[in-house]
Chain A
């Protein structure tokens, strides 16, 4: 069973990874695109990206486009894998709770009919 990832579990970082993992590999997005899509402030987004970069889950590239500084962000292979495993763990938690719920209903029915 895949476990929950402590770095990605934080809600803002989970949303950042959800955006980056939804892109096909080899595509980068701008800092401002992420900021607008996730409705975050520069400082908040920057801090969480730094944490993700430290963990090796995102790659940040700074460059100039038309003489203006531009920051591009992409998910690394490790980041995509970690996000997939984290999503799988979330689904397992959900499925587990549904199975427990169904089993509980079956037991209650058996008790009621016996």
Chain B
């Protein structure tokens, strides 16, 4: 079977373009992270500017995030799945269950314990970053561990050292890192 170098080049270009297209869709977790990074950043900034509207701000931001997540799930989630019975399927389902339990407990703590808005903010940041670290350990993804540890350390520092600017601090050191890591991941693909 003979082909010309031009045909070989065209085939290789086609392979490269398709691989890039597939990997963009495949890494839809990065789109989730980007979406929630934007939600967090806007929410934290708005809370810094109008702290008395904290319930309204976060009520609308969470609804926006959930609608966006549902749309992402509908457009991209159904196109691919782990092979049933595979290691990937096992890990995905276990991690899904772990996250479900984690967030149910976080909501339970919110109901049981009277927390200030800042403490509620810290609870969500640390619970999410806890999940990120566990995902990193489970799925052998060092970036997820670094993200979780870095955001947690910076948020704790802001909480204790700059309480008056905590929301601004959280926008910069909790919201923006999510956007940064997701954009970096998408560009890497």
Instruction: Give me the interface of A with B, judged by CB distance under 8 Å.
Output: 3-4, 6, 9, 11, 14-15, 18-19, 21-30, 32-33, 37-38, 65, 72, 74, 87, 90-91, 93-94, 96-98
Contact, CB under 8 Å: B12 / A26: no
Other-chain contact of B14, A14, A37, A94 (Cβ < 8 Å): A14
Q: Among B21-29, B59-67, B142-150, B161-169, which stretch is in contact with chain A? A: B21-29
Contact, CB under 8 Å: A22 / B11: no
Interface of A is mostly: helix
- Given A23-B22, A90-B8, answer yes or no on A33-B80 (Cβ-Cβ < 8 Å): yes
Other-chain contact of A33, B9, B11, B14, B79 (Cβ < 8 Å): B79
Query: CB-CB < 8 A to A97: which residues of B?
Result: 5, 8
Instruction: Give me the interface of B with A, judged by CB distance under 8 Å.
Output: 1, 3, 5, 8-9, 11-12, 14-15, 18-19, 21-23, 26, 78-83, 86-89
Other-chain contact of A87, B9, B15, B78, B87 (Cβ < 8 Å): B15
Contact, CB under 8 Å: B83 / A29: no
Query: CB-CB < 8 A to A38: which residues of B?
Result: 18
Contact, CB under 8 Å: B23 / A22: yes
Contact, CB under 8 Å: B89 / A26: yes
